[in-house]
């Protein structure tokens, strides 16, 4: 925060200085692609964050913005513009095209598995535009760097915890061996990595555990998500993993009312619903984005390449050090989960994501 306000002051002073000398530009220009509007110096490294949806309530979108802002706090000459593209996916390509057409941004950062594909024609139309896509992968494209996370491991950890909970005698747990997962929509990372990983984790506890997988159909309708959760609870589910952005709140409310448990994906959220959120698996996307933006700034980001990181690399962690976790989940369950987490961290247990993702 301190850094950011200092940055704002520095920025304001620069703007005033530029205005005073009569060279205030319509926007901050960094390295311009085709010399004609190259009025600026190389003073700024301009980053645009394209949020494919709405930032608030979507853990990975929040972290993407946070990561870019942290990079900007680290380097005073990085500027940041955040564009929320909204939930109409049919408009994303047009909005991304308009952003690239501004030819102002040294880097456009975005996230989710669909974005690099949506960006292919945009990249073709603007051959000097560079992109960083996280939480995604695509065949090598020399204008893009992509980073994929091993979400099979991430989902395995919550699946394992869910399995332990549904088999336990924790308050609110019934005798059915059933756990649930609700996705905003179906997409390859969900069906190829997350759901299979969640199932594998649960099966490692007991092969008889059933996984109830439902799809909401959007990333915002908390009422509908609550209804979906209620119908799963009525069918015997006592632990639910919601991955539906802003609609997660509806699942949490339904679980709280019914006295069952929620597992949380991508960020630590115990304080959002103490006693209801029983476990959080954290994906450190903010750090990954910060590091990659700094690399781009330094000119060392290898466009055309991609990375994959998981538990062993330290980007996926289970949030074990919370009093709320310790209060909600009994010690014997925590100890069992902790052993699995440790063996994944040491690389003794690793899950290979499907070939599909390996370009």
Contacts with ligand RBF by CB under 6 A lie at: 52-53, 58, 60-61, 89, 112-114, 135, 184, 187, 189, 219, 243, 245, 265-266
Which helix (H) or strand (E) covers residue 316, if one does?
strand 316-318
Least CB distance from residue 38 to ligand RBF, whole Å? 35
What are the residues facing 252 on neighbouring strands?
none
Q: Which residue, 179 or 243, has its beta carbon nearer to ligand RBF?
A: 243
CA distance 151 to 135: 9
Least CB distance from residue 184 to ligand RBF, whole Å? 6
Name the strands in the sheet holding 316-318, side by side, starting at the edge strand that comes first in the sequence.
210-215, 178-183, 239-243, 261-266, 277-283, 316-318
Q: Which residue, 45 or 156, has its beta carbon nearer to ligand RBF?
A: 156
Least CB distance from residue 261 to ligand RBF, whole Å? 19
Quote the Cα angle for 133-139-141, to 5°. 65
Least CB distance from residue 223 to ligand RBF, whole Å? 17
CA distance 147 to 357: 11
CA distance 86 to 52: 6
Least CB distance from residue 238 to ligand RBF, whole Å? 22
Least CB distance from residue 270 to ligand RBF, whole Å? 18
Name the strands in the sheet holding 107-111, side by side, starting at the edge strand that comes first in the sequence.
78-84, 45-51, 107-111, 131-134, 144-149, 306-309
Residues in Cβ contact with 310 at an 8 Å cutoff, skipping those fewer than 6 apart: 149, 150, 152, 153, 154, 316, 344, 350, 351
Report how far Cα 50 is from the mean position of its chain's Cα atoms: 13
Q: Which residue, 264 or 325, has its beta carbon nearer to ligand RBF?
A: 264
Pairing of strands 78-84, 239-243: unpaired
Q: Which residue, 84 or 345, has its beta carbon nearer to ligand RBF?
A: 84
Q: Which residue, 85 or 233, has its beta carbon nearer to ligand RBF?
A: 85
Least CB distance from residue 315 to ligand RBF, whole Å? 12
Q: Which residue, 78 or 281, has its beta carbon nearer to ligand RBF?
A: 281
Q: Which residue, 220 or 325, has its beta carbon nearer to ligand RBF?
A: 220
């Amino acid at each position: 925060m301190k850094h950011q306000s200092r940055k704002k002051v520095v920025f304001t002073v620069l703007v005033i200085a530029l205005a005073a000398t009569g060279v205030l530009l319509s926007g901050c220009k960094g390295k311009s692609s085709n010399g004609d509007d190259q009025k600026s110096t190389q003073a700024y490294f301009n980053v645009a964050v394209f949020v494919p949806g709405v930032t608030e309530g979507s853990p990975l979108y929040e972290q993407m913005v946070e990561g870019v802002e942290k990079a900007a706090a680290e380097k005073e000459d990085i500027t940041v513009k955040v564009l929320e593209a909204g939930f109409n996916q049919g408009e994303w390509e047009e909005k991304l095209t308009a952003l690239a057409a501004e030819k102002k941004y040294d880097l456009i950062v975005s996230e989710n598995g669909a974005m690099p594909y949506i960006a292919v024609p945009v990249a073709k139309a603007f051959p000097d535009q560079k992109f960083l896509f996280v939480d995604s992968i695509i065949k090598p494209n020399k204008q893009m760097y992509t980073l994929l996370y091993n979400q099979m491991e991430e989902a395995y950890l919550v699946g394992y915890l869910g399995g332990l909970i549904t088999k336990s005698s924790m308050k609110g747990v019934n005798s059915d061996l059933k756990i649930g997962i609700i996705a905003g929509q179906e997409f390859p990372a969900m069906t190829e990595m997350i759901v299979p990983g969640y199932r594998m984790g649960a099966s490692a506890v007991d092969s008889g555990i059933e996984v109830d997988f439902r799809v909401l159909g959007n990333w915002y309708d908390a009422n509908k998500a609550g209804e979906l959760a209620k119908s799963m609870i009525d069918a015997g589910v006592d632990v639910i993993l919601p991955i539906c952005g802003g609609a997660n709140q509806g699942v949490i409310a339904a679980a709280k009312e019914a006295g069952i448990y929620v597992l949380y994906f991508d960020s630590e959220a115990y304080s959002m619903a103490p006693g209801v959120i029983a476990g959080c698996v954290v994906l450190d996307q903010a750090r990954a984005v910060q590091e990659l933006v700094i690399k781009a700034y330094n000119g060392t980001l290898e466009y055309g390449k991609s990375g994959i990181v998981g538990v062993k690399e330290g980007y996926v962690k289970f949030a074990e050090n919370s009093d709320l976790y310790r209060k909600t989940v009994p010690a014997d369950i925590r100890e069992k989960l902790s052993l699995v987490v440790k063996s994944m961290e040491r690389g003794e247990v690793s899950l290979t994501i499907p070939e599909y993702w390996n370009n």
